[in-house]
Structure 1
Amino acid sequence: MLACVIVWSSKDPDKYRKLVWVTVFLTFDVIMFGAFTRLTDSGLGCPDWPGCYGHANPLQAMEHIRAAEALMPDGPVTVMKAWVEMIHRYLAMGIGVLIIAIMVIAWRFWLQSGRSNQRFSPRYPMLLFVFVCIQGAFGAWTVTMKLQPIIVTIHLLLGMALLGMLTWVGARQKDHAPVAAQASALRVPALIGLMLLTLQIALGGWVSTNYAALACSDFPLCHGAVIPQMDFDNGFTLWRTLGKTADGEYLPFAALTAIHWTHRFFAFVLAAYLAWLGCKALKIEGMRPVARALLGALALQITIGIATVSLKWPLALAVAHNGCAALLVLLLVMLNYKTRISGQPEKIVSQIK
């Protein structure tokens, strides 16, 4: 794979570390492209899996795609949507290959070290491998179950979790400046922050997968009210088909309003908590760079969120909103990692010879 060739031909002496961080970067990109796939309604651009009408790429399936597009010009299958969906699959498979490479290399260096170098402990790469397989299964179910909202939302959450796990593995490969011992007091608050962010991402995924983004078109009110008319029962029934209630009726607009309003309300809660957490971390030696980045990303995410609603959900801003959420995941994982190494001397990382 091209990424592996680039890493191994680079002049960086620690190629294992570089491979891990390249995989982090590409996983972030795949999450962004996955958001683009979802927001352009391209999830069923190729309605089978893993191929496209049984072929490896849309070029070979062009006859089938053209026929489907002729029947429904504005439907889920078009040439553009087929390419978007398949490119997303190719990128996701590439991440799987990179994780396999990380796992194999970790095993090799761990055994060469006599199983003493915990930096190369294979338990994390093996967990990544299991996790990416589960993620692949949910990617397949996303297509075969016709974009069922709960499946698509779990697929998003697993992608974010994979990014967080890769970031943790990457953090283990870096040299870290000493972190003051008082950072240990933030271990629980930092973990709570990550859990709250996960819940908010789940709510955001639920908005996106139910096409509830424009259910509240004004801000900060919703339909001119602080608490508009809402249908939480149907809105948060998890196991149902897209656009339908559990009884098979069309999902009422009040249910979409409930989905959007809940995501918006919880955004205020999360923003207040992360702002407090970032300010606390700013006061601790060794935590300040991550804390500044966290507060900056939070401010950017709030701005993008408001602009997205005010400008009627433009595609570029909607994709950026997903990307900024992924950036917050990465930064909160780094913050959690730093609280775990607080009070320890500077971490010495041996280089791969």
Structure 2
Amino acid sequence: MTDLLLPLGQVAAIGGAVALGPLIWWRQRSRASTPAGRLRALTVLTLFLTFDLIVFGAFTRLTDSGLGCPDWPGCYSAASPVGARHHIEAAQAAMPTGPVTHGKAWIEMVHRYLASAVGLLILLLAVLSWKLARSARAHHEPAPSPWLPTLTLVWVCVQGAFGALTVTMKLFPAIVTLHLLFGLGLLMLLAWQREAYVPRPLSVSAAPAALRTAVAVVLVLALVQVALGGWVSTNYAVLACDEFPTCHGGQWWPHLDFAQGFQLWRELGQRADGSWLGFEALAAIHMAHRIGAGVVFVAILALAWTLRRHAADWSNWLLAAAGWQLASGLSNVVLDWPIAAALAHTGGATVLMALLTTLLVRLRSADH
């Protein structure tokens, strides 16, 4: 137990040090604000750092640094790669092109430090939310419910558990994909929470009652598409189709093995029976994501067209996000998956989810 608790405390302490700078900045900037205004500013700060964490998590995966420190929460039970340098050197000497190098270890640990910092900020948000609610009740004043920040705190703890499983289960594709989805869910909760402190109903002109339903449908479709994108990335299936609009060798529809490609509970690169995953399975994963992208793109265009008559600024934001995702997604294929394009694609998906969540919350506020 000591082998777990000691590095966990050390990593959390480093995360606290990372969070200290943003907290000082937040405190200085929001000194003259109301308690609700300070909470909203802290939520915006945490939202921004969560976006950074998701993108840096993608960078960790794209640089094959997920097992740079093959244990958890520390690096060979040390708080940083400095204390684990002998273990890292031995692993690198045994396998020079393997997953453990000094550079990859630092990338993985920086990701954990940033995750710890975000977790501590969310803990502070929950504590301050309950304090604000208690003060508001004492003075018979309205205040946002503290249960949403509490749910966010529980969510980030579950997300941390999936982060640990990502390492201990050796990049098990289903776990890595769930880790990504829980990260996006965390961002969506923070976007929702941000709106709760200063409600700003969407300015609409005779918006149809079905508009909120349409946004919810697009949000669900986008989530499914993100899950497919995560499955492509965690299975390294991006270049299974290295052409566009065709897939491989000029084929529009090559032989695809969806059954093996979407067998969820299996090791990385393997089938459930332990044999190697074939090209047909990887191509099926890629093509499913490509088809999903077309569906979501059309859905966003339809939603943007509807919004143009009621909230043109939101229509433009959604069109910009959809265009960004189209360009960055195509760049991954035609430019052989450069890290910059892959990070742009992940960042674009994250922004799109935050936009759709905020839009849905504001439409809900308008209805009430």
Given the two structures, how large is their TM-score scaled by the length of structure 1? 0.94
Alignment of 1:152-167 (within 5 A): 152-167=176-191
Taking CA–CA contacts closer than 8 Å with sequence separation of 6 or more, which of the two structures ends up with the larger relative contact order? 1
Alignment of 1:177-196 (within 5 A): 179-180=203-204, 181-196=206-221
**Equivalent position of 1:149 in the other structure:** 173
Whether the aligned pair in 1 keeps the contact of 2:69 and 2:109 (CA below 8 Å) is yes
SS of alignment partner, residue 93 of structure 2: helix
**Equivalent position of 1:216 in the other structure:** 241
**Equivalent position of 1:348 in the other structure:** none
SS of alignment partner, residue 214 of structure 1: helix
Q: 1:34 aligns with which of 46, 57, 65?
A: 57
Given the two structures, how large is their TM-score scaled by the length of structure 2? 0.90
One-letter amino acid matched to 1:191: A
Provide the identity percentage: 47
1:68 aligns with 2:68: no
- Assess, with a 3 A threshold, how the Cα gap between structure 1 residues 69 and 118 changes in structure 2: closer, same or farther: farther
1:324 aligns with 2:348: yes
1:249 aligns with 2:272: no
**Bigger shift: residues 268-277 or 5-14:** 5-14
1:341 aligns with 2:365: yes
User: Can you list the C-alpha shifts for 1:174-204, whole angstroms capped at 9, x where unaligned?
Assistant: 3526533525321111111110000000000
User: Can you list the C-alpha shifts for 1:92-141, whole angstroms capped at 9, x where unaligned?
Assistant: 11111000110011000100011765543111011001100000000000
Q: 1:229 aligns with which of 255, 266, 275?
A: 255
Whether the aligned pair in 2 keeps the contact of 1:290 and 1:334 (CA below 8 Å) is no
**Equivalent position of 1:347 in the other structure:** none
**Equivalent position of 1:239 in the other structure:** 265
1:3 aligns with 2:22: yes
Question: Distance in 2 between the 1:183 and 1:3 partners?
Answer: 41
User: Can you list the C-alpha shifts for 1:73-106, whole angstroms capped at 9, x where unaligned?
Assistant: 1111011100000000010111110001100110
- Assess, with a 3 A threshold, how the Cα gap between structure 1 residues 330 and 32 changes in structure 2: closer, same or farther: same
User: Can you list the C-alpha shifts for 1:260-312, whole angstroms capped at 9, x where unaligned?
Assistant: 1110111001100011111111211xx33222111111111101111121111
Question: Distance in 2 between the 1:227 and 1:266 partners?
Answer: 15
Whether the aligned pair in 2 keeps the contact of 1:156 and 1:205 (CA below 8 Å) is yes
User: Runs of 5+ in structure 2 lacking a partner?
Assistant: 1-19
Question: Distance in 1 between the 2:101 and 2:186 partners?
Answer: 30
Question: Distance in 1 between the 2:190 and 2:174 partners?
Answer: 24
Residue 343 (structure 1) shift: 5.0
Question: Distance in 2 between the 1:299 and 1:43 partners?
Answer: 30
- Assess, with a 3 A threshold, how the Cα gap between structure 1 residues 316 and 185 changes in structure 2: closer, same or farther: same
Alignment of 1:88-99 (within 5 A): 88-99=111-122
* Number of corresponding residues: 342
**Equivalent position of 2:161 in the other structure:** 137
Whether the aligned pair in 1 keeps the contact of 2:243 and 2:333 (CA below 8 Å) is yes
Question: Distance in 1 between the 2:332 and 2:221 partners?
Answer: 22
Q: 1:301 aligns with which of 303, 325, 347?
A: 325
Q: 1:202 aligns with which of 227, 239, 249?
A: 227
SS of alignment partner, residue 226 of structure 1: coil
One-letter amino acid matched to 1:173: Y
| Superposition CA RMSD, Å | 1.4
Whether the aligned pair in 2 keeps the contact of 1:183 and 1:342 (CA below 8 Å) is no
- Assess, with a 3 A threshold, how the Cα gap between structure 1 residues 50 and 183 changes in structure 2: closer, same or farther: farther
User: Can you list the C-alpha shifts for 1:25-73, whole angstroms capped at 9, x where unaligned?
Assistant: 0000000000000111100000000000000001110110111111111
Whether the aligned pair in 2 keeps the contact of 1:179 and 1:341 (CA below 8 Å) is no
1:47 aligns with 2:70: yes
Alignment of 1:6-21 (within 5 A): 6-11=25-30, 13=33, 14-21=37-44
**Equivalent position of 2:299 in the other structure:** 273
**Bigger shift: residues 250-259 or 289-298:** 289-298
User: Runs of 5+ in structure 1 lacking a partner?
Assistant: 345-353
Whether the aligned pair in 2 keeps the contact of 1:193 and 1:273 (CA below 8 Å) is yes
Whether the aligned pair in 1 keeps the contact of 2:201 and 2:365 (CA below 8 Å) is no
One-letter amino acid matched to 2:69: C
Whether the aligned pair in 1 keeps the contact of 2:257 and 2:284 (CA below 8 Å) is yes
Whether the aligned pair in 1 keeps the contact of 2:201 and 2:363 (CA below 8 Å) is no
* Higher fraction of helix: 2
